[in-house]
Amino acid sequence: MDSLTVIADEPLPAGEDRFVWLQIYDRLRQRIEAGVLPPGTRLPGEHNLAGAFGTTRSTLRQALARLQSEGMLVARKGAGVYVRDRPATYTIAAGRRFSEALGPFAGRITTRTLRLERLPLEPEAAEALGLPAGVPAIRLCRLRLLDGRATYMTDKRFHAERFPNFEAAYAAHQSVTDVFHAHDIPAFHNVSTRITGSFATEEEAATLDLAAHAPVMRMTAVNAAGEIDPIEYSAGVWPLGAVEFLAEP
């Protein structure tokens, strides 16, 4: 069925005193949550949609704007507005290795390596790792997908001297744990984890399939080998509501 008729199958209630844009917002949200407009669906053009609701583009866009900031829709310039994959919340647990923390999500997570390069260590990462800024470092940038949906992006730093064979060890299974094993680090653990919130950069919005400037949560973590030997600095970002962070001391 044509998505226009699904959305504007009946006119907005007449006597309703709530704002028009809110009514449209509710209608769209309800249709998306009911699964009538599944992820990936392209909405009718804003001109048509506004016409179908008997309102103006400006008013319609106010409804779309909220749905975009909530991550339910993504607009692609020149292409159209698409129903976004629902933020399927999964749980990250503090103080555990990632694979342990996955729990019931284990089989549903896939990883895409976005960047693997060498560069001088930035001051912030240097402080976290207890190294001087500027030393040779390895940058690993990855995207985690839950059931194929982009949900979590990480940007990691390692001391290059400590992992001379990083690229080769990583290549086999795209596994950082493999890299550690290959460099005589059998076990590691989480030292500290910080969680904050802010807004997506342009690049983050693009890779996470979010509207520009959508609200996100950020995590920075330090992992260590043995007791007090930091080896990994990790900065992660995910759409607000896509991930639940769990700390069980």
Partner DNA sequence: CAGTGGTCTAGACCACATG
Partner DNA sequence: ATGTGGTCTAGACCACTGG
Comparing CB distances to DNA, the nearer of 48 and 110 is 48
**What is the rounded distance in angstroms from the CA atom of residue 109 to the CA atom of residue 144?**
7
155 binds a copy of itself (CB under 8 A): no
Q: Interacting stretch for DNA, rule CB under 7 A, among 49-57, 84-92, 143-151, 236-244?
A: 49-57
Q: Which of 29, 66, 97, 183 binds a copy of itself (CB under 8 A)?
A: 66
20 binds DNA (CB under 7 A): yes
| Nearest distance in Å: CB 210, DNA | 12
By DSSP bridging, strand 136-146 and strand 149-159 are antiparallel
The site partner of 236 among DNA, a copy of itself, none (C-beta below 5 to 8 Å per kind) is none
The site partner of 154 among DNA, a copy of itself, none (C-beta below 5 to 8 Å per kind) is none
**What is the rounded distance in angstroms from the CA atom of residue 162 to the CA atom of residue 183?**
8
CB 25 within 8 A of CB 40: no
Comparing CB distances to DNA, the nearer of 80 and 95 is 80
191 binds a copy of itself (CB under 8 A): yes
| Nearest distance in Å: CB 194, a copy of itself | 5
The site partner of 45 among DNA, a copy of itself, none (C-beta below 5 to 8 Å per kind) is DNA
The site partner of 80 among a copy of itself, DNA, none (C-beta below 5 to 8 Å per kind) is DNA
The partner residues of 146 in beta bridges, in order of sequence, read 109, 149
107 binds a copy of itself (CB under 8 A): no
Would you state the structure tokens that stand for residue 192, as one six-digit string? 């500290």
Residue 160: half-sphere exposure toward Cβ, Cα within 13 Å:
15
**Cβ-based burial of 156 (10 A; exposed 0-12, middle 13-18, buried ≥19):** buried
Comparing CB distances to DNA, the nearer of 45 and 226 is 45
Comparing CB distances to a copy of itself, the nearer of 76 and 194 is 194
76 binds DNA (CB under 7 A): yes
**What is the rounded distance in angstroms from the CA atom of residue 198 to the CA atom of residue 204?**
12
For the chain, how many residues are written? 249
Task: Compute, in degrees rounded to 10, the torsion defined by CA atoms 161, 163, 164, 169.
Answer: -170
Would you state the structure tokens that stand for residue 164, as one six-digit string? 């001379």
User: Could you list the residues that contact DNA (CB under 7 A)?
Assistant: 19-22, 43-48, 54-59, 61-62, 64, 75-81
